[in-house]
Structures are given as structure tokens and as C-alpha cells.
A and B are shown apart, each in its own frame.
Chain A
Amino acid sequence: MSVSRRKFLGWLGAAGMGTAFGTSANAASNKHFTGYPDSMGILHDISLCVGCRSCEAACNKVNELPPPEKPFDDKSVLDKKRRTTASVHTVVNKYDNAEGTKGPVFVKTQCNHCLEPACASACFVKAFAKTKEGPVSYDPSVCVGCRYCMVACPFNIPTYEYDSAFSPRVMKCTMCHPRVIQGRLPGCVESCPKEALTFGKRDDLLRIARERIRKHPERYVDHIYGEHEMGGTSWLYLSNTSFASIGMREDLGTTAAPNLTAGALGAVPLVVGLWPVLLTGVYAMSKRKEKIAKEEEAQAVGDAVAATKAEGEEKLSAALAKAGKDKDSAIKREVKKALEEAAKAQKEEAAEAKTEEDA
């Protein structure tokens, strides 16, 4: 197909104008989000937790969750490892014989409110958002229920209301966002008697954690879990035993979740831009090949026809020439014959005239 110069320049201009209106995409970049300024977080000091489950009870009350099977002061529940469920946003688990401790170690598990949450990156209706106050919020009014967030979360936290037929929601700790906005404390933090949960600005919490490690190096493992894991979380942990031995994965890396798919997403516009060119090019090439093949075929046919024609004409002219020649020689013969006959006749006349003279 042919394009006029005017048309081509017009397209270029349009494309250029289009690019002027974009914002920076930073696909597959290594920008690092360190959290909104003054965003809040929670520091969980595992060495202080005694497994009283007041936090679980408070969470249940504040979020108006259904009553549990066994009451919250039932400690036998701690003998089995539990995970969050659709009606339980947070659980405390017990770890006996953790290395380097006198007694059992208790750990509270809940959504870690990552700085760059995997769930928010995964959600295709933007149902999750990292609020500037710190909590990662969930909007059930747009959620379609695809559950990709559950696949994406490296901490295996979000749960789903599989038993609801018409309004199933993804359930997870909200860091009591409505209360936090009002300046109140999250339910679990308020209820913890030992202040194993400290609420405050994330930067301050890091300072507190570092200070505790400095003051008591014999008590704490020299690592603040959540400072850098998965790009940083708003929920930070201090422990008196190795994190791996209390069910906290140490192999998650420090790459924020959105960066994991940024490369693949960045390739999409590339495909959209290049594929038409490539495919049209292939199509054009194959069409051209076809055309050339047709032309060559036509050419071959034409040549064959021409050759046959030429051969025929040659034969014809040869025959004509031969015929002409024959005609000529025939004429010659006739002429010769006529001349001979004329000569002969003349001779006879001459002879006759002589004879008459003699007599």
C-alpha cells in the first residue's frame, strides 16, 4: 500500500502529540518507595508477647467478626499452628523449643501492610490501596472475587469468604484504618497488656527497634524483620530467636512485589507497537513472494508461448521461402521452356524459308 507524504507526516505528528500527554511510567525501573511520609506502622516485639490472645479478642470485637469456636482465653488453641481465616484477621502462634530461649515464643501474624503491596499490584480493579496513613485498605464494593491477591501475597494472609454466595469478600487485617484516621489506636495495639505492639510512625518504630537491639544485644536477633523484606512493610518485628524458627520466611528477598511484574508489563506496549510492524512485514513479504512467483509463472508461460510462436513463424517463413523458390524455378523452367520452344520455332521457320528459296 502506498502512503502519501502528507498522511505519513500527519501520523508522526499525532504520535508525537500523544507522547506529550503521558506521565512517567518507569516500567521495570528501580525506583524505591520508602513509604508515605508520616505513615504509621506497628512494631511487634516478639520477646514481650506472652500469648494471652487479647489482641485476637480485641480484633474480633472491633471488626464485629463472628464469635470463635473456642473462646479467646482458651490457651489450648495455641498447641496447633493456625493461619488467618475469613473470620479471623490475626492469630497468635506458639513455638516451643525455639533456639536460644527459655520458654515458648509467641508470634502474632496478620497483614503486614507492605509499603508496595503485592495484593494492590495484583488487583485488576484497584480494590487494594496503600493509604497515606499506612494501612493497606480493601474496597469490597469493586472486588470481583478473582482472588489473585491471595496468590500474590508472599505472607499468605488474605482470606476469602467462600461460604458467601452473593457477597463474598476478601478478608484481612485493616490496621483499623477508620480508627487510625480518627487518631485512635488499632484494636490489637490498644489491648496488648505488655505493649508487645507499638504503634507509631514507621521511621520512629525503626528507631525504637534499633535502640532496643542496642540496649539488649543479648536478647534480640540483630535484624528488624519488615525493614526491607518485600521492599519494606509497615509491620515490623523484633525477635529473641531466629525468624526462620518461628514461621517467618527469611527467603522473600527485598524486591518489592510490583517490581517483579514490571518487566512483563513493560513489554506489553512494545508488543503492541512492534507486532503490527513485524506481522505486516511478514505478510507483505509473503504477498510479494506470491506476486513474484505469479510473475515468474506468467513469465515462464509467456516465454513458452513466445518460443512456440517463434518456432511456428520460422517454419512458416521457411515454407513460404521454399514455395517462393519453387515458384521461381517453375517460372524459370517455363520461361526456359518457352524460350527454347520459341528458338525451336524460329529455327524451323528459318529452315522452311531456306528450302523455299532453293526451289
Chain B
Amino acid sequence: MSQEAAVFGETSPPGKSLYTPFNVIAGIILIVGFVITILRFTKGLGAVTNLDNNYPWGIWIGFDLMAGVALAAGGYVTSAAVYIFGMKRYHSAVRPAILTGFLGYALVVVALHYDVGRPWRLPYPFIMQQGTTSLLFEVAACVALYLTVLFIEFSTAPLEWLGLKRARSIVVRLTMVLTIFGVILSTLHQSSLGALFLLAPSKLHPLWYSSYLPVFFFVSSVIAGLSMVIFESTLSHRYFAHKMDETHLAEKEGVALGFGKAASLVLAGYFTIKVLGISMDNNWHLLGTGYGMWFLVELLGFIALPCFLYAVGVREKNLCLIKWTSGLTVLGIILNRLNVCLIAFNWHLPSDEKYFPHWMEIGISVFVVTAGIVVFRFIVTRMPILYEHPDYKDSH
């Protein structure tokens, strides 16, 4: 058993104790998270967050929801690439991407339960009154539907694991329809998350506010999806290589190169439309202000730079560079969502009225991510995600 596997691989490698370093740390995070959860639901939002009347949305929305949804976009991007565009050589990346997507969206919904004032009323927009003038309604509907789509798409793995052949074959036949439906739903809710902020032009800094916000969010979600697949694939290979079958191991390089190339192209396009966005509103003079500098950091350091690095990495077949660039891009997407939602929001306010998250908010975010990783590990080590189930080889 490799050292990594001993640390991180199985929940408990046979014969070894349950208390691996990862398990201990994860355990502590989960316990703390559990305590904060109790506080949140018995004492209210005010007791565990720094949310106030000027900043109703904090990192639970900015990071867990917005960045989470963007980074879970790998699901639709990969399945679209493989099933709609017919790029069969990425097939091994589909299941991990769907799993990441499904867990991502599931955790988004979990985090939403913390943030919203009365989470037991979350079904209300569907069953009580439909606020169809609101983009948030559209986001809610599409996320709910898409979570269902992802669940069904993911369910092939546990069905195979449980040996339910008939159910599994029904699900597999739905793949095409689900993939198309998934792309439609993703386009809608990824762009609508950006469109939410169209309603607040007076509160969002002009360099980030644009009537193209929905387009920006959608395009960056594609980038996020591509990068997350590379990122997740790298981590999986490091810690779960022993679970991977030959196809998976063989296709790994192809996935990184292919997705890296795609990401470079889309980043270039994204950079262009961002610059066009500034040009359309004639906001060049704002680039010389403090916020302008911060915008340039995002634009140059987290969009232009990864675009260039991806291109270099793909050309030189430098997987290490591609791996690091995917990490940089993921950070850039998170930064962009945080900028739009928190940093460039209500930028007029003096700094003593600005928002910084409470440690408990950060605690819940970490808790949610950790829970996601733990569940991911559970699934990946038991179900046919990184390998093909011997009973169902070549039967898609």
C-alpha cells in the first residue's frame, strides 16, 4: 500500500487505525461544523455570521453558492464534450466530473440551507407563489432540476455497485436526453447567477457591473468546469491511483491536454469580452483607481496569465504546468465570484462598514467542503467512478 493511500486513500486501510492525519483533521472540522450548525439553527444568523443590513450576502453565498456552482460546472462541460460533441477520448473523465458536479451542487444546496433565513420554506417558490419576475426563481428552478439531472446521471455508479442491472440500463438509456437537458439548465442558471446583480447597478463597481454579466458568468463557468476537471483529476491520481483502471490511467494525459487547450481558448475569449465590456462603457479611466488595480489583478493575473500558461503547457505537453494553472484558474474563478458578490459590492461604503466573514462562517464553508471531500472519498473508493465495473465494460 503506497504512503499516500495510507494517509488519504481508504477510510481505513486494512489493518491500520482509523486515525490517519487526514481523518483526524477532517473529523475535527466536521465536529466544529456540527456545533456551529446547532448554533446557527438555534440562535439565528446573527449569532454565527457578520452579515448586516449593508451586506445581506456573505461568503456562504459568495463562495459556497456562487463559486461552488461555477466550479461544479465540470459535469455538464465534460458530458457535453463526450456525448454531444462526440469526443470519446475523454470518456474516463465523465464519471468523476459528474460526481464532482453532483456533490458540488448537493453541497451548494446544503450551504443554502444555512444561509437562507427559513430553509424549511425553500420549496415555497415552487409550491406557494412563483415569483417569476425574479432571476433568483429561475436560478432556484434550474438548480433544483439540474441537481435531479446530476443525481440521475450519477446514479449509474451506485446502481452498478449495488448490482441493479435493470435500473441501471434504464438510466443509461437516458444519458443523451439528460446531457442535453443538463447543458440547457446549466446555461440558464450559470448565467442567471450573474444576472442577479443586474438589478443593482448602483451598488456594484462599474468595472464589474456590465449588462454582459450573465455572459461573463456563463463563459467563466465553462472555464471553471474545465479547470476543475483537470484539478480533480490531478488530485484523484495522486491519492486514488490504485483505484483507477487502465483506460483511466491512459486517458489522463489526453484529458489534461485536451481540456487545457480548451480552457486556454475559452480564457482568451473571456479576456476579450471582458476588455470589450470596459470599452463599451468607456470605463478605461477607472483602471487607474484602487479598484481598477484590483480588477487588473483579476484580469491579468487570473485570466490572461492562465490562458497563456495553459497554452504553453499544452504545447510543451507539460502536465505539471497544466496542473498548477488549473489551480490558478480555480482561484481566479473564486476570486471573480467573491469580487462581484462581496468586494466590489457596495463599494461606496467606507471601509469600517464593509464586511468580513465571521470565523464561524468560514468554519461552515470549510465544513461543507470537507464533508464534500469525505463523501467523494467514500464514493470513489467503493463505486465504479475511476474504473469500469467488470460487469458493465463497454456497455454504454
**Chain A residues within 8 Å of B, Cβ to Cβ:** 83-86, 118, 120-127, 142-148, 150-152, 154, 156, 158-168, 249, 251-253, 257-258, 260-261, 263-265, 267-268, 271-272, 275-276, 279-280, 282-283, 286-287, 289-290
Contact = CB atoms under 8 A, between A and B. Distances in A.
Contacts of B187: 271, 275
A138 to B, nearest CB: 13
Contacts of B47: 163
A264 B195 contact: yes
A159 B53 contact: yes
A275 B214 contact: no
B46 interface: yes
A265 B138 CA distance: 8
B44 A162 contact: yes
Contact of B118 (A118, A144, A280): A144
Contacts of A167: 118
B49 interface: yes
Contacts of B131: 123-127
Nearest to B85: A286
A164 B53 contact: no
A261 B117 contact: no
A163 B135 CA distance: 28
A124 B125 contact: yes
B117 A145 contact: yes
A280 B46 contact: no
What 9 A-B pairs are tightest by C-beta distance, nearest first? A145-B117, A286-B86, A162-B46, A147-B56, A264-B195, A124-B137, A150-B56, A165-B44, A124-B131
A267 B214 contact: yes
Contacts of B180: 275-276, 279-280, 283
A265 B125 CA distance: 17
Contact of B83 (A166, A264, A267, A283): A283
Nearest to B120: A144
Given A120-B133, A123-B131, A168 B45 contact: yes
B134 interface: yes
A103 B133 CA distance: 45
A125 B199 contact: no
Nearest to B128: A142
Interface in B128-157: 128-131, 133-138, 140
B188 interface: yes
B84 interface: yes
B119 to A, nearest CB: 8
Contacts of A127: 129, 131
B234 interface: no
Interface stretch (B200-208, B288-296, B366-374): B200-208
A262 to B, nearest CB: 9
B25 interface: no
Nearest to B88: A290
Contact of B184 (A83, A166, A271): A271
B199 A121 contact: yes
A162 B49 CA distance: 9
A287 B41 CA distance: 52
Contact of A287 (B80, B86, B191): B86
Contacts of A83: 53-54
B137 A144 contact: no
A82 to B, nearest CB: 11
A276 B195 CA distance: 22
A104 B86 CA distance: 72
B43 to A, nearest CB: 6
B122 interface: yes
B192 interface: yes
Contacts of A160: 45, 51, 53, 56, 117
Contacts of A122: 134, 136, 199
A164 B200 contact: no
A142 B129 contact: yes
Given A125-B121, A125-B130, 11 more contacts: A124-B134, A144-B119, A145-B117, A151-B199, A152-B200, A156-B54, A161-B44, A162-B49, A168-B118, A251-B202, A267-B214
B234 to A, nearest CB: 28
Contacts of B53: 83-86, 150, 156, 158-160
Nearest to A116: B133
B211 interface: yes
B321 to A, nearest CB: 30
Contacts of A265: 133, 135, 138, 195
Nearest to A249: B202
B196 interface: yes
Contacts of B176: 283
Interface in B197-231: 197-203, 211, 214
Residue among A127, A144, A168 having the largest count of chain B Cβ atoms under 10 Å: A144
Most B CB within 10 A of own CB, among A125, A126, A147? A125
A290 B83 CA distance: 12
Contact of B195 (A84, A150, A162, A261): A261
27 contacts: A121-B199, A123-B136, A124-B140, A125-B125, A125-B130, A143-B117, A143-B118, A147-B56, A147-B57, A148-B196, A150-B56, A154-B202, A161-B44, A162-B44, A162-B51, A163-B47, A164-B44, A167-B118, A249-B202, A261-B195, A264-B198, A265-B133, A279-B180, A282-B84, A282-B85, A286-B85, A290-B86
Given A124-B137, A164-B44, A282-B85, A144 B184 contact: no
Contacts of B138: 265, 268
B117 A144 contact: yes
A290 B89 CA distance: 13
Nearest to A150: B56
A86 B117 CA distance: 14
Contact of A146 (B117, B199, B211, B214): B117
B167 to A, nearest CB: 25
B158 to A, nearest CB: 27
B183 interface: yes
B40 to A, nearest CB: 8
A283 B218 CA distance: 21
